[in-house]
Structure formats: C-alpha cells, structure tokens
Amino acid sequence: MTGKTAFETRYGFARKDVRLETWRLSPFNRWSFQNVGELVPSAHVAAVPGGEEQAKPLGALLSEKITLAGGSETIEGFLKRSDTDGLTILKAGKFVGDWSAPHMPFGARHIIFSISKSVTAVLAGILEGEGLLDPNAPVTRYIPEAKGSAYGDASVRNVLDMTVSLDFEEAYLDPESAFARYRRSTLWNPGGGSESLAAFLMTIQRLAEPHGQTYRYRSPNSDVLGMLVERASGMRVTELLAEKLWLPLGAASEMSVTVDMEGTARTAGGMSMTPRDLARIGEMMRQGGTANGRRIVPEAWVRDTVATGGSHEAWQRGTMVFLFPKGRYRNKWYQTGHDSGAFCGIGIHGQWLYVNPKTEVVIAKMSSQPEPVDDKLDVDIVAFLEALSGMV
C-alpha cells in the first residue's frame, strides 16, 4: 500500500515526523499543539459532565474587511495569514461565533502556552482572597529552599508582576542556552529527565538591579508561581484548577497541563484547553471574577489586575512597550492601555485571550505560527482583535 494515510492527507506530514525535537516547528505544530499529551507527560482536569457543544459559524463576518498597517484584508484572510487554528467570540456572555482551520476540529484542545501564566495567576488571586497567599510576602515564606537563588530576596508580588531581577534570557531558538536546559527540565526538549523543574528553578541567579524596577518577561517566574500556589494551599495545581476554577467556571471540556519528571505542572506554559473554555476564563474576568452567578476570584483582585494595578514605569523599562505603549502588566495579565480598557493574556506561536470591556467582547485565538515570537505580526494581531471586538 503506497497511498497517503488519512493523517498525511489532513496534515501534510506523517505522524512519525512529529517528535520531541520537532513538535514546536512548522508544519508539525499544526497537529502537535492539539496533541501535546502524546509528546509530553500531562495531567488532566475533568470538566462538568454533559458539556457537549455545537460550533456556531461566523458566517458573513468572515468576508468583512479590516484595515491594518499593511492595508485592508478580510477577517478570514487575516485568520489564515496569522496561522489561526481556532477562534471563538463571546459578546455579553453569549457565544456569537467560532472558526476552525481544516486541521483543527471544533472542540479540540490546543496548548495556550503563556496564557497558562494568566490562568495560574487566577489561582493565586483565589488563594489571596482566602487568606492563604500574601502577595507582599517573601517567596521564601512559602519556598524556603529559594534562599540562595534569584528568588531568595524577591517577593511574591515581584513574581506575579515579572519584576524579579532574573539573570535569564528567553532564548527560544538557542539549543545551548540556559533556556534549553530549562526546557529539558520540563520534558519539552529531548534529553530531559535528569533535572527536575523545581531543581532547575532554584539554580537561577539574580542581576545586580533591585527587584521591582523593570518588567522582564521571564517564564521561570510563572513556574515558581505554580510552586507558590501549591505550597500556600497544600494542593496540587491540577486539584486547585478543578476545585477552584474549572468546575465553578462551567468548563465544557477537559483541560490538561504538562508535567515534569516529578509531576510538577508547567504553569508557565503547559496548559491545553478548547477555545470556548479559554473564552470562558476571559468572560469570568470581564464579569469581575464571577461565572454562572458564582464568585470565583475577588472583584478587587480582578480590578487591580485588569485596570488599576501594575507599574507603568516598570513596563516602560521593559521590552514590550512597542506592543502596548501605554500598557502595564499585573498578575500575569496585560493591560493594553487602549481607550477600550482592553486586557489580555498572550502566548507564543500566536495564542491570545483578548477582553474588551467597552464592547463586552471576549476573543480566544489559538494558532500555530511558525515563529515563537513575531513582533510585527503581534502588532497586527492587536489591531485586528481591537477592531474585531467592535464589529460583532
């Protein structure tokens, strides 16, 4: 038999070509981003039983035109140009449309990469409301072994706001970097299994600059946050997600998170879920921390996170000012500084959770962009999401 398999016909490559060393590369990521659990050990969080959903096509909206820096293009054209796999739009709490690429069935789970940070921060907000986690406490109150690392004199607030003065670079494409060692400790790269994620985190050292001054996007901070919520609560991340967030949220589908050799959850980037369930998290935040008539996270925490908190000065000293010139960063969420009051979670390879309070719109966009970071495209995506949120 010499014909192509159904898998090869659908994706354009063979399943055997998707390996630990290739899963984040194009075109293999079109499949792997929906099936991370076949490549990296993962723990699962069940959803509310009976949560079957039907797709709601975007219809005529797809042919509407939107004007970006490079000119005018249709919404569908931009979705394809930006390698979108799945898109879901909510308005005023109701699903108004879904779009899926041919290789992503409706209802499939997809890795959200660093939006996982934003989700983990919601757990931190819940624990803060319960009096179990103090954002102003030193990290060592909860993780004594952090003494001697960069976190030895940092606060939980520094971890939450990415203002730890961390001597670490997000070198996504350098196989010899400390970042590659970090990835091995998470079992995301070949060669892992000899050093746990927690052990690696405790080896990172600090820069001379005091903590709290500069926004530095460093993923290890968010894995440390996972350790903090576990130590503060006495529960595993997956238990916290199930009890405190996923079931109260009314999530319709199971979610998962990758784990290391010790079962430690990759809270900086390992979560997978459906576009609709991701949108539900955004809607919960838009509603001030409630879902289904039930409070999930304190309203004051949400307001601080998406509107009033965060240091404009620290953001201005960082490297993402080009994306949000008037922005701030608080509790792992981005405040855009737009007149709409929009806020968002962002993940590499094109993952977005965009919330526009003014238009009451939430947009979840999951993608398989070839490059981990594409600054020029990100600027277009922000403009696209802001415009789209005003069109539905």
One DSSP character per residue, 243-286 reads IIIIHHHT-SS-EEEEB-TT--B-TTT-EEE-HHHHHHHHHHHH
pLDDT at 335 over 70: yes
Render pLDDT for 186-208 as a digit per residue (tens, 0 to 9): 999 999 999 999 999 999 999 99
The single-letter code of the amino acid at 10 is R
Neighbour-count burial for 310-343, b at 16+ CB within 10 Å, e otherwise: bbeebbeeeebeeebeebbbbbbbbbbbeebebb
257 and 267 Cβ atoms separated by less than 8 Å: yes
Distance between CA atoms of 351 and 211, rounded to whole angstroms? 28
Q: What is the pLDDT of residue 61?
A: 96
The pTM for the full model equals 0.97
Sign of the Cα pseudo-torsion (118, 120, 125, 126, in order): positive
pLDDT at 45 over 60: yes
The one catalytic residue among 114, 185, 196, 367: 114
Render pLDDT for 281-329 as a digit per residue (tens, 0 to 9): 999 999 999 999 999 999 999 999 999 999 999 999 999 999 999 999 9
pLDDT at 345 over 60: yes
Q: Which two tokens stand for residue 5?
A: 């398999």
Kindly give the residue spans of alpha helices, DSSP state H, lying in 18-86. Answer: 29-32, 75-81
Is the preceding omega at residue 210 within 30 degrees of 0, hence cis? no
Distance between CA atoms of 139 and 229, rounded to whole angstroms? 11
pLDDT at 177 over 90: no
| pLDDT average, residue stretch 119-127 | 98
Rg (CA), the chain: 20
Distance between CA atoms of 51 and 3, rounded to whole angstroms? 38
**114 counts as catalytic:** yes
18 and 39 Cβ atoms separated by less than 8 Å: yes
Distance between CA atoms of 78 and 140, rounded to whole angstroms? 46
Q: Is 157 helix (H, G, I), strand (E, B) or coil?
A: helix
